[in-house]
Structure 1
Amino acid sequence: MRYSAFIRQNYDILQEIIDNMRTGIWITDGEGKVLIVNNESVKTGGLTRDEVIGRTMDELLKVGYITESATLKVMASRKEECIVEELGTGGHCMTTSIPMFCQGEIDIIVSVERNISEVEKLKSLLNEQVEMKKELQKELLKFQSRKDELCGRMVTRNINMLHIREMAEDIGKIDAAVMITGESGTGKEVIADIIHKSSRRREAPFVKVNCAAIPETLMESEFFGYEQGAFTGASGNGKIGLFELADGGTLFLDEVGELSIPIQSKLLRVLQDKEVRRVGGEKSISVDIRIIAATNRDLKAEVAKGTFRKDLYYRLFVVPIALPPLRERKEDIELLTKHFLDIFNKQYNMKKTIGPEAMGIMERYQWPGNVRELRNVVERLVVSGAG
C-alpha cells in the first residue's frame, strides 16, 4: 500500500497522533499537495487546516502563506532538504523535508518544522549587541585618539607639567573661565587647546586671538563685528565678530593684558550679559562662549596701576593656571629637543642628530624664549646643516 493511501485511510488516528507532537508536521503527496498537517504547524504559520489541506505547496507559496518551501526543493532534488523559512506571520522556522518513495517515485514528503522565531530574535539581539560593541569600540578609539593627541602635543616628563596637564583635562569638564599665566613660549596655547578638547564644546569652534596683534583702532570691530556701512571702509555686507564666531565654543584670548580699557569694559559686559552688539547695530545677539585667557604680564600689578580692570581680573581668574619656564624643568630639554628634531627631520627630509656635547650645552642654556625658542633653534640646526 502506498503511504499516501494509508494516510487517507487512517486520517483521523494519524491526525490525533501528530496533534500531540510539539514540532510542526506537514505531509504532502508526491505532487506537493498537503495531505495532513498538525496543530503545532498551523499555529506556527498562523494558518488554519482549511487554508492548507488539499492545496499544493506551490499554491501556498504564490499566495504568500510561505516564502520558501523545503517540500518543493525535495520534489526537485529527490533527496532530504533543510531550510530556514520566513513565515507569513513574520516568524521563522527550520524545516526538514524527507521524501518517501514507492516504486521509485516520491509518494509522500514528510516535513518537520521547528519554530526558531525566538532563536532568530536572540540572534538579532546578539547582532545588535555586536554592532553596539563595534560602535562603542569606535568611540573608545576616538576618545583614546583625542587623549593621545592631547598628551602628544604636550611633551613633558616634568612632574609639575604633568600635574598641569591633568588639571587642564579636569578643568575642561567645567565651564568656568580660565586664566593661564607664564612667560612667552611656555605653552599657554597648548594648555588652552587641551582644556577645549576635554570640554563639552570640543566639537564647536575654538577661536584663538592674539590680542597684541590687533591694532587698537580695529579691536572693537574685530571682536564685535559690524553692520553694513557702519563706518568708512566697512565691508558692504558687514562682518561677524570674534565673539559670534566662537558662539557655542571657546574663545582663547592670548596676551589679554594688551587689551585697552574700553575693550576690557566691553568684554566684561559680554561675560556678564552673554550678548554682543555689532558696531553700527541696534539689536543684541546672544552668544554662548567659554573664555580662556592667557598673559605673560603680572595682571595684579596692572590692576594696581589702573591699566587692567579689577572686575574683569576677577571674572577671568576663576581658575588660574601658572606655567613654569623651561629653565625650571630642565629634564624636558632633551625630550623636547628630540621631539622637535624628529618633526623637522621628517619635514625637511633630513637625518640630523644632536650629540651629547651639544645636548649638554642646550641643557645648561637658560632659554629665555622657553619652548618656542628651543623649537626655533632645533629647526635652524636641521636646515643649516649643523649637528
Structure 2
Amino acid sequence: METENQPPAGARWKLIGPGLVAAATGVGAGDLVATLIAGTRFGYALLWAAVIGCIVKIALAEGVGRYHLATGRTIFQGWQSLGRWTSWYFGAYILVWGFLYGATAMSATALPLTALMPFLPLWGWAIFAGITGFVFVWFNHYQAFENVMKALVAVMFVVMVGLAALVVPRLGAILSGLAPGVPQGSLFYTLGLIGGVGGTITIAAYGYWTQAKGWRGPAWLGVMRLDNGVAYAVTGIFVIAMLIVGAELLYGAQVALASGGKGLVDLADILAQRFGRPIAMAFLIGFAASAFSSLLGVWQGVSLMFADFVAHVGGPDPEDTQTGWPYRAYLLWLTFPPMALLFLGKPFFLVILYGAFGAFFMPFLAVTLLLLLNRRDMPVEARSGWLSNAVLACAALLFVLLCGQEIWGLIG
C-alpha cells in the first residue's frame, strides 16, 4: 500500500485537475455529434437524458477514485482479486480497443484540422495528430499533461457555450426538457445519450490520474468528490450546449448531419452560412480541442492502465509506470499500427466494430465496481451506500442493454 498523505490546508478548488482530465478525455467528437443529432431530431425533449448521463458518469468515476484512495490499490488490482477471468478479459480488450481507437482518435482530430487548413489531406493531419500526441506524452509527465488538458478544456468551454448563447436558447423550452419523456422513435437515442457521453475505458483511468496527482489515502476522498463533481458538471454544460445548438439551429429544419466527427464539419458549414466564416472557424477550433484532448487523454491514461496490467500479471512492479517499457510499448501500439487503417479510408465495418467492441467495457466496469465497493475488505467508511449501489446497478443494466443494441446492430 502506498504512503498516505493529507490534502494541504486552503481552498480545495485549487487542487482540481484529474476529473477535468477524465471528462475532457471522455467527451470526444462522436459524443458531441450524438448529442447534436438528438437535439436536431427531438428538440429539447431528451435534455433530461443528458443530465442523467452525467450523473451516471459521476457515480462510476467516483467509484473508481474511491477504490484507489480507500484501498491504496489500483482498479486493476481490484479486478484481479475477483478472479483470473478479469485479467484475460481486460488484457484482450485493451489490446484490440487500443488498435481500433488509435485510428478513430487520429481521424477525429484530423477532420477539423483538414477543414481549417486543407493543405494536407485527412490522413496527413491524422498522422500529424497521432505523432504530436505521442511525442508530448512520451516526454512529459502528469503535471504538464494536466496543464495542457485544462487549456484544451478552456477552449472547448468558451467555444461550445458561446455557440449555445449565439443561437439564443429559449429558457422555457430548456426547462420543459428536464421533464423525463421518451418521444416516439427516440428510445435508442435516449439510452445512448445516458450511456454514451463522457467516456468508456477512460473512466477507469481516473484513479490512475489521482495517483499521478499525488493523492494518497482516504483523507483525499472529499477532494476527489469535489474534483469529479466539478468535472462532470463541466461535461454536462458541454452536452447541454450542443443539444441547444441542435434544438435551436437545426430542429425542424430537416437538416441531416453525418454520424461521427463528419457531422461536426457539416455543422461548421451551416454556421458559416448563418453567422459567417469566423464563427465557423471558432467552432472548428473548439472541435479540434475536444478531439485532441480525447487523443491525449487516452495516449496517457490508458497507457498507464496497460503498464499496471503488465506489472501485476507478467512482470515486476515498476516504481514509475510512466518510464517503464509497458507504458511506452502501449503508447507505440496506440500510435503507429493504427495508421495502417487511415490509408484504407476507415471502412464502415471498422466503425461499426469499434462501436460494438467499445460497448463491452462499461457493463464490465459497472458490475465489477458493484462487487468491489461492497466487499468486506473495503474500509467501512468507503463502502457503497444504498444510493451509490442503486446508481451503479441501474448503470450496469443500462450498459448491458446498450451492449446488446450494438451487437444487434453489428449482426444486422
TM-score, L = length of structure 1: 0.20
Query: More helix by proportion, 1 or 2?
Result: 2
**Greater Rg, structure 1 or structure 2?**
1
Which structure ranks higher in relative contact order (CA pairs < 8 Å, sequence separation ≥ 6)? Answer: 2
